[in-house]
Amino acid sequence: MSLPLAPRAVSRALRSPSYVCGACRRGLTTSTRLQSGHSKWATIKHDKAKNDAAKNKQRSVFSHEIILACKLGGPDPNLNPRLALAVDRAKKASFPKQGIENAIKRGQGISSTGAALETVTVEAIFPPSVAVVIEIETENKLRSLPDTRHVIKKTGGNATPVAYLFERKGMVVFEGKEGWGPNEVLEPALDAGALDVEDANEGAIIVYTDPADTKKAAESIASATGLDIASMDIVWVPNEDTKVPLEDGESTEKISKFLDDLKEVSGVQAVYWNATQGSVEDSTWEELLKKIDDFE
């Protein structure tokens, strides 16, 4: 997040060749040094913010890999090669030991304190009729629920049931591999009971399943194709006939503010919505999508 610096304003009087007293000159000299220091400090803060964001993103990736590996094969690296590999990669990148342990616990549905995690869902609607489903993993829902509802209300939304506008599905993302696309994956996916197959960015393949069959289908397809599982989740997919196009303006700004403020709520795991780009500019749309992806 860059901090914009106001341009220096120098008056005509200060630039004139007329006499300026020593005290004034000293004042001008001091002002110049302060401005230079402020610029340097702003640059340092800007660079630090970018570095911190990159580190946080990397840690999120490692944590996600460990959690997924733990869910697929159990919490013991000696019996779970995928988990052992994920932990080894995290260690080589100097991912903190405590972070690794916490990710393994979360993969078992346990918080860092050892308490059982509970998944809670909060539903809301924002102008113009944008439905939002928020999933939270928490050991204290009596705190998480009011905090989430407060953010919704503060940013112009209304907490209300909207789940009927979505369908609950299992979603498995397979890493891209040369020679493999949706058409090649379709047959083994159908044999595994999949509902649909789509392509994604960078050659990745998305397979949708019934929620109860997600893990079984993922492992079956991976075994039949040799594809690596990149992620596996139960998601909320918006119904096609209920999607809402966004428009530039106050409503889109409020949704953006909502996503920013929601980051302050502990335990938010994912945010789903039924919005489409509509007339929103590409840059604004990409920014909104990134904010939603950051919760995953």
What's the CATH code of the domain at 100?
1.10.10.200
Closest CA to 126 of 251, 235, 250, 228: 251
Q: Are residues 205 and 68 in the same domain?
A: no
Number of domains comprising the chain: 2
Per-residue pLDDT reduced to its tens digit, 241-276? 999 999 878 889 999 999 999 999 988 989 999 999
In a domain, 18, yes or no: no
Q: What share of the chain has pLDDT > 90, as a percent?
A: 52
Burial letters 72-104, b for 16+ CB under 10 A, else e: bbbbebeebebbeebbeebeeeebeeeebebbb
Q: Are residues 104 and 153 in the same domain?
A: no
Q: Is 169:210 a contact under the CB 8 Å cutoff?
A: yes
Tell me the average pLDDT of the chain.
83
Q: Residue 161: is the preceding peptide bond cis (ω within 30°)? A: no
The domain boundary, picked from 59, 81, 116, lies at 116
Sheet holding 166-174, edge to edge: 196-199, 205-209, 166-174, 229-238
Q: Are residues 103 and 176 in the same domain?
A: no
In a domain, 13, yes or no: no
Which region, left, alpha or beta, applies to residue 239 given φ > 0 means left and ψ of -120 to 50 means alpha? beta
Is 15 buried (19+), middle (13-18) or exposed (0-12) by CB count in 10 A?
Answer: exposed
C-beta atoms surrounding 3 within 10 Å: 11
Of 13 and 146, which is predicted with more confidence? 146
Q: Are residues 223 and 98 in the same domain?
A: no
Predicted TM-score (pTM) of this structure: 0.73
Q: Are residues 112 and 123 in the same domain?
A: no
CATH number, domain of 181, equals 3.30.70.980
Q: pLDDT band for position 106 (50/70/90)?
A: confident
Q: pLDDT band for position 19 (50/70/90)?
A: very low
C-beta atoms surrounding 63 within 10 Å: 20
Please give the residue range of the domain that contains residue 84: 23-116
Per-residue pLDDT reduced to its tens digit, 23-46? 444 444 444 444 545 555 555 555
